[in-house]
Structure 1
Amino acid sequence: MAGSTYLDGSIATYLDKLAGAEPEPGGGSVAALVGALGAGLVTMVTSLTLGKEKFAAVQGDMTEIQEVAERLRGELGEFVSLDAQVYRAVATAMKLPKETEEQKAERTRVLQAALKEAATVPLRVAEAATQVARLALPAAEKGNPNAVSDAGVAVLLADAAAQSAALNVKINLAWIDDGSFARETWGRVELLLSETARLRDTVLALTYSKL
């Protein structure tokens, strides 16, 4: 992808790559994309609320939500391609020579560093997705009620993104020798999943009550 990202192409092109025989883009990239879609929906709810006289009381709130949602959409969009890049770094490290003790030691060092990065990127995706879920709640509560179903979809996508990212964290942690790093990282993931699940249920209940 030198010099470009998956988001520079069409949806059809991305889907074709996803369905291809190469291991990337894969689930981690998709997790980021799903999170970005959720952030985009939150922004849409705010856009349908801002500038409307009958929603004058929440203009400030909607502006703040929109600013954060757009930042998250940008971050998650970058992770769509970054996830594939860190995967390639792991794949490259695994191919390093290991004939001598020095080569084995260097391969281990490079591979472990690459694996940590490969676990950290989906962790950051889960963190950003959780923030999207947090925004979906006030969007559903205060946003244009005609778009409340979109806030509901946003929280579902945010939860799916967090759970999908968690799977990618877990599969990389299994290969990492640093036990404290693995425990700390997974502990953070579990907290995020707990929060997104709670927000999902809360926002969905609110959404259905307004339909």
Structure 2
Amino acid sequence: MFKDQSLDTFLDRLASADPTPGGGSAAAVMGAMGAALVGMVASLTVGKPRYRAVEAEMHALQAKAAELRQRLLAAIEADVAAFDRVMAAYRLPKDDPNRGEAIQAALKGATDVPLACARLCVEVIGLCHEAAEKGNPNVLSDAGVGVLAAHAALKSCAINVTVNLNAIRDPAFVAERRGELEALLDGRDREVEQLYNHILAKL
């Protein structure tokens, strides 16, 4: 599994001529890094007498960040599997009467995987707010890096959702998924920029 490889090996694979892992898997890794940095802020807050008032909240933040990190790591493999299904569908003989349907079904799956990843990234962004507001201020910069990583992952997911939607011929599916993506993105640039500037001002 890609998540069990060394970072160097994963990056070598990413840089290779192999189509997978690709941008979707990279987005999942960025999101997972954002979640891990939230976990770091929480870990460096719990157990310190000065932050006892937020101890329970930091434990909850730790647990949620760890859960999201694992789900985002799982999205690496999900993205690879979805892309492989798309490629397999396109490799079907052109005279196969099921080819068009197979391609469309695979494209829908390849849309839903990065869309699910985008949902997780929005959750990570939310956790970064809490980490920055209540966590140990000595690691406030890590909360900042975390929110930027999660935001980059979200925007990357949006690219992958959009490229697949543009090839899908089911108007209802396209409208529903595009609507959800727009809702996930709505106001997010401004939100992240505000948190980024807030963190910079406190450093």
TM-score normalised per structure 2:
0.97
Residue 61 of structure 2, aligned match among 62, 65, 72: 65
Correspondence 1:168 to 2:160: yes
Q: Distance in 2 between matches of 1:45 and 1:39?
A: 10
Query: Deviation at 1:202?
Result: 2.6
Correspondence 1:108 to 2:104: no
Correspondence 1:199 to 2:195: no
Correspondence 1:89 to 2:85: yes
- 8 Å CA contact 1:133, 1:199 repeated in 2: no
Letter in 2 for 1:97: P
Q: Secondary structure at the match of 2:167?
A: coil
- 8 Å CA contact 1:152, 1:204 repeated in 2: yes
Correspondence for 1:48: 44
Correspondence 1:140 to 2:132: yes
Residue 14 of structure 1, aligned match among 10, 16, 20: 10
Query: Deviation at 1:195?
Result: 4.3
More displaced 10-residue stretch of structure 1: 170-179 or 197-206: 197-206
Q: Distance in 2 between matches of 1:56 and 1:173?
A: 48
Query: Deviation at 1:194?
Result: 2.2
Correspondence for 2:180: 188
Q: Residues 45-101 of structure 1, C-alpha deviation per residue, up to 9 Å, x if partnerless?
A: 0000011110011111111111111110000001112101100000000111232xx
Q: Distance in 1 between matches of 2:54 and 2:177?
A: 37
Gaps of 5+ in 1: none
Correspondence for 2:144: 152
Query: Deviation at 1:40?
Result: 0.2
Letter in 1 for 2:126: R
Q: Distance in 2 between matches of 1:37 and 1:199?
A: 19
Q: Distance in 1 between matches of 2:90 and 2:58?
A: 47
After TM superposition, which residue ranges in structure 1, 4 or more long, deviate above 2 angstroms? none
Q: Secondary structure at the match of 1:63?
A: helix
Correspondence 1:208 to 2:200: yes
Residue 178 of structure 1, aligned match among 170, 181, 194: 170
Query: Deviation at 1:201?
Result: 1.7
Correspondence for 2:30: 34
- 8 Å CA contact 1:137, 1:199 repeated in 2: no
Q: Distance in 1 between matches of 2:147 and 2:182?
A: 18
Query: Deviation at 1:198?
Result: 3.3
Calculate the aligned-residue CA RMSD, in Å.
Answer: 1.0
Correspondence 1:123 to 2:115: yes
Q: How many residues align?
A: 203
Q: Secondary structure at the match of 1:25?
A: coil
Describe the shift of the 1:76–1:195 C-alpha distance in structure 2 as closer, same or farther (beyond 3 A).
farther
TM-score normalised per structure 1:
0.93
Query: Deviation at 1:42?
Result: 0.3
Q: Distance in 1 between matches of 2:187 and 2:125?
A: 9
Q: Distance in 1 between matches of 2:103 and 2:62?
A: 39
